[in-house]
């Protein structure tokens, strides 16, 4: 009925404007065009509703709708963590240890072994005809060696010697033990001012009781402690050995030995030996 009233009203309006009354056919055509416009609008509205339903079903139930990024939001700025710590920032380096099937390679390596054996021969005691290369390694451009003579029955000391050499074979040696140096559960000595990689490095080397499973080396100047595992020397020797490297403070490049104390612990973490070092050149414990 409302549609008929609207068409009659349109006919009256047209008659007023045009001075004539539209025919029945014209009224029918106008009614059809109006219904088509209404149908087109309804279809567009239905399409929008379907699109909204489709977008909503793409998200899981309860999941919030994605938000558009803010135009003023920049990337998150990450502030790196800060820490204090000791003067020396690089972790001390224990170096590489090789239990030898032979000697360091080449003529230079053979010469190193002979030089340390010559130093070892100066120690009175042990089997004079047997000098054993216990271990050797390379670190910071240096080759280090430990040699020892198996003790004879009744000897309460051990003759052993160490050496450190550069690539050309130049270096230094030192011996330990003898009748005036009874065997102790822990010994430590070393070197300093080894120039490598733009820094100065020190070395600590020594003998330790076979009860020890770990050796801790403590230093001055805030240098981090060095944890070392003993080098197993076998049943022919009454002690094992250890060796390690540490970085010296940048501002000090003198003959001071930076080690203050060395402590040995057994497998259960109990202290089994210690030695207190003194500062200055050439000191050990």
Q: What is the pLDDT of residues 12-24, one digit of tens each?
A: 555 445 444 445 4
Q: In this predicted model, what pLDDT tens digit does every residue of 54-89 receive, in sequence order?
A: 434 444 444 443 333 333 333 333 333 333 323 333
Give yes or no for residue 90 having a pLDDT over 90. Answer: no
Task: Look over the chain and give the mean of its residue pLDDT values, rounded to a whole number.
Answer: 74
The DSSP secondary structure of the chain, one letter per residue, reads -HHHHHHHHHHHHHHHHHSSPPPHHHHHHHHHHHHHHHHHHHHHHHHHHHHHHHHHHTSPTTPPPPPPPPTT--PPPPPPP-----S--SPPB----B--SS-SSHHHHHHHHHHHHHHHTTS--S-TT--EEEEEEEETTEEEEEEEEPPPTT----EEEEEEE-TTS-EEEEEE-STTS---SB--EEEEEEEETTEEEEEEEEEEETT-SEEEEEESTTPPPEEEPPBP--TTSSEEEEEEEEEPPTT--SS---EEEEEEE-TTS-EEEEEE---STT---
State pLDDT tens for residues 176-186: 999 999 999 99
170 against 257, higher pLDDT: 170
* pTM, entire model: 0.65
Pairing of strands 159-165, 171-176: antiparallel
**Higher-scoring residue by pLDDT: 29, 121:** 121
What's the rounded Cα separation, in Å, for the pair 221 and 15? Answer: 111
Lowest mean pLDDT among 10-14, 29-33, 234-238, 264-268: 29-33
């Amino acid at each position: 009925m409302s549609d008929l009233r609207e068409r009659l009203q349109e006919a009256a309006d047209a008659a007023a404007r045009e001075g004539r009354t539209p025919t029945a056919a014209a009224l029918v055509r106008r009614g059809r065009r109006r219904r088509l416009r209404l149908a087109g609008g309804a279809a567009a509205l239905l399409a929008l509703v379907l699109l909204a339903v489709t977008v909503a079903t793409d998200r899981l139930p309860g999941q919030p709708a994605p938000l558009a990024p803010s135009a003023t939001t920049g990337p998150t700025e990450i502030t790196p963590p800060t820490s204090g710590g000791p003067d020396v920032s690089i972790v001390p380096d224990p170096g590489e240890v090789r239990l030898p099937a032979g000697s360091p390679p080449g003529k230079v390596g053979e010469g190193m072994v002979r030089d340390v054996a010559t130093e070892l021969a100066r120690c009175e005691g042990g089997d004079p005809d047997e000098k054993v290369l216990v271990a050797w390694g390379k670190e910071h451009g240096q080759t280090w060696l430990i040699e020892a003579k198996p003790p004879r029955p009744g000897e309460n000391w051990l003759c052993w010697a160490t050496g450190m050499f550069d690539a050309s074979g130049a270096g230094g040696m030192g011996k330990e033990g003898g009748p005036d140096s009874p065997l102790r559960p822990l010994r430590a000595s070393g070197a300093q001012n080894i120039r490598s990689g733009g820094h100065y490095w020190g070395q600590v080397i020594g003998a330790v009781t076979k009860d020890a499973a770990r050796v801790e080396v403590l230093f001055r100047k805030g240098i981090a402690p060095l944890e070392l595992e003993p080098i197993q020397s076998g049943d022919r020797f009454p002690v094992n050995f250890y060796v390690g490297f540490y970085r010296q403070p940048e501002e000090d490049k003198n003959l001071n030995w930076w080690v203050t104390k060395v402590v040995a612990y057994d497998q259960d973490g109990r202290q089994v030996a210690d030695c207190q070092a003194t500062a200055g050149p050439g000191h050990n414990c």
